[in-house]
Structure formats: C-alpha cells, structure tokens
Amino acid sequence: MNKKFVFLFSLILHLSFSAYSQSADKMSEILETQTVTYGQVSYLACVFSNTIDEDVTYDKALATMKSNSLVPMSVKTNDPIKLGKVAQIFARAANLKGGLMYTITKSQRYSFKELKAQDILPQNADPSMKISGRDALAILQECIDANSK
C-alpha cells in the first residue's frame, strides 16, 4: 500500500510539472473521474500541445479537436471515450514517433498498437475499454516520456 502511495504521489507530482500548469480544479476533477470523457481528454491534449489556454472549458477543447478532425463531430463533451481513441489523441498530441503503419496512417488502430508496442499500454489492453482520469493522465505522461527518449 505504501509503495502505491509513493508511486502515485510521484506520478502526480511529475505530471503537474510536465503537463505545465493546468488549472488545479480541472486537474483534480480529471484525476477523480472514474470514466474519462471526450472533453477531458481533449482538454489535456490541447493544453499539452499549447493549442488552447488552460482556463478554457472542455467544450472549447473538444471544439478544437473537432476542427482538427481528431474526433467525430457527433460526440459530446460528456460522452465517455474509449482507450483506442485516447491512444490516438495522446500519441498525436505528444508527436509520438512509431512504426511504419503508425507513421503513415496515424489511425486509431495503429496508434493503439504503437502504444502497446512501446509498452505504454499493457499487452492485454482493449481498445474498447473505458478508463479513469488517473489512467488517462498516466498514458499522456508515458507518451510524453517516450517521445523525449
């Protein structure tokens, strides 16, 4: 139990420095979320890539992602997002380098496979599963770290 606490504390501390200075309220909300949404993932990706200010709403972040054709126009801010789409959004936000098919297509399928190949996602991960806010932040951080190697 103590090791988990130390790991989570260091992860949160590391995320707070590397994900820049997002609004503390939004970060707390995302961390506490059981099922992360399109709006929350869009916010994290856009703030990390400096396409929006940290004080904008989830709606504005999602609109930015829609205008860049990264999410379907039909999704709403509070719709739960699946791991496959999270992989695609975060891989692009972190400008992750990868294999041939990922480099060519940047599709959801190959983004997911690339994150598994780079051990960012566990091998038993399913692209249709929903994830928590804490898991989403960890995936974004792993993408950032993988890109800086």
Consecutive 10-residue runs of the chain (149 residues): their mean pLDDT?
Answer: 52 53 79 97 95 93 95 97 98 94 95 97 97 97 89
What is the spatial distance between Cα 123 and Cα 131, in angstroms, rounded to a whole number? 15
Measured N-to-C along each axis, helices 133-147 and 2-18 cross at an angle, to the nearest 10 degrees, of 60
pLDDT for position 28:
92
The DSSP bridge partners found for residue 130 are 82
Q: What is the dihedral of CA 148, 17, 87, 54, to 10 degrees?
A: -120
pLDDT for position 24:
81
- Determine contact, residues 115/138, Cβ cutoff 8 Å: no
Cut 0.75: pTM above it: yes
